[in-house]
Structure 1
Amino acid sequence: MTTTRLTRYDRSMLRLMNDRRGQAWYATAARRRLAVAAHITLTVAIGALMTHFFLAEGEPLWPVAAMAVLLLPWMVATGIINGATRGLLELREHVLDERQSAERSRVLARAHRMTTLLLAATAVALLIAGGVDGNAPKAYAAPLLIAVLVVHWVMPLWVAGLRAEDEPAEDEPLEAGALGR
């Protein structure tokens, strides 16, 4: 951390992001991958429901209710990933130490590259679909671009969750016989 004074917000976020009570949810790499996979799945499901709601004509409000129900586990998965990364993306830059700041830069760079590839693939898919159909698929352009925007927003969180490392094991107490009397 730098010598900048921490605000009350900074201190409360630092305390929240370093709270180890939920550590069992992300203690292993497999659990962190599962949390990221669940978050991706929930994000895709909410996006699909949102797309269905806006593109379907005369549909009842069931997609909105389903989105509201899926939002709670999505927020829990977000919290699990933030806990696993100790708030790498949520804390302000001046709160992070040098290692965390460097890791944040690596995560953001990798997420940026992945999102750039996704945007390029989306543009190519729209151009191909427009070329085959003879007309750009206007009805799907907006939902697809919104989906890419959402992925752009959460990609750093996914990358950080996948790159998070296990907590160092606590030192085991030395036994009296192990001291080599």
Structure 2
Amino acid sequence: MTTTRLTRYDRAMLRLMNDRRGQAWHATAARRRLAVALHITLTVALGGLMTHLFLAESEPLWTIPVMAVLLLPWMVATGVINGATRGLLELRAHVLDERQSAERSHVLARAHRVTTLLLLAAAAALLITGGLAGDAPKAYAAPLLIAVLVVHWVMPLWVAGLRAQDEPAEDDVLEAAALGR
């Protein structure tokens, strides 16, 4: 952390992101991968339901309560990933130490590269589909671009969740201290 004075908000977020009560949810790499997979699945489901809501020709109002129900586990999965990364993407930059700041930069760079490839794939899909059909698929352009925007928004969270490391066990910390590391 820098010498910048922490605000009440910074201290509250730091406490929240380092709260150990939810550690069991993300204690192992398998659980973190499961949380990221669940988050991706719920994001795709919510996006699909939203697309159906706007493109369906009938009155698909049933999608609204289903999306509301899916939003709760989506938020829980977001919290689990944020807890696993100890708030890497949620804390302000001046609250992070040097290691966390470097990790945040690495995560954002990797997420940017993946999102760039996704944007290229989306543009290619629209161009190819438009070329084969003889006309640009206008009905699908907006939902596809919105989907890519959502993925752009959450990709850093997914990358950070997949890159998060296990916390050292207390025995490991004690051994390292005894060996003078």
Q: Give the TM-score of the pair, scaled to structure 2.
A: 0.94
Q: Pairwise mapping of residues 88-107 of structure 1 onto structure 2 (< 5 A)?
A: 88-107=88-107
Q: What amino acid is aligned across from residue 113 of structure 2 in structure 1?
A: R
Query: Counterpart in 2 of 1:144?
Result: 144
Q: How far, CA to CA, are the matches of 1:171 and 1:27 in structure 2?
A: 16
CA 1:131 to 1:2, structure 2 compared with 1: closer, same or farther past 3 Å? same
CA 1:114 to 1:172, structure 2 compared with 1: closer, same or farther past 3 Å? closer
Query: Counterpart in 2 of 1:16?
Result: 16
Cα RMSD over matched residues? 1.2
Q: What amino acid is aligned across from residue 21 of structure 1 in structure 2?
A: R
Aligned to 2:68, what secondary structure does the other structure show?
Answer: helix
Task: Work out which of the two has the higher radius of gyration on C-alpha atoms and give 1 or 2.
Answer: 1
Query: Counterpart in 1 of 2:171?
Result: 171
Gaps of 5+ in 1: 175-181
Aligned residues: 174
Q: How far, CA to CA, are the matches of 1:54 and 1:91 in structure 2?
A: 35
Aligned partners of 2:52 and 2:60 also within 8 Å: no
Following TM superposition, the consecutive aligned residue runs of length 4 or more in structure 1 with deviations greater than 4 angstroms are none
Give the fraction of aligned pairs with identical amino acids, expressed as a percent: 86
Query: Counterpart in 2 of 1:57?
Result: 57
Gaps of 5+ in 2: 175-181
Query: Counterpart in 1 of 2:177?
Result: none
Q: Give the TM-score of the pair, scaled to structure 1.
A: 0.94
CA 1:173 to 1:101, structure 2 compared with 1: closer, same or farther past 3 Å? closer
Query: Counterpart in 2 of 1:77?
Result: 77
Per the TM alignment, residue 62 of structure 1 is displaced from its structure 2 partner at its CA by 0.5
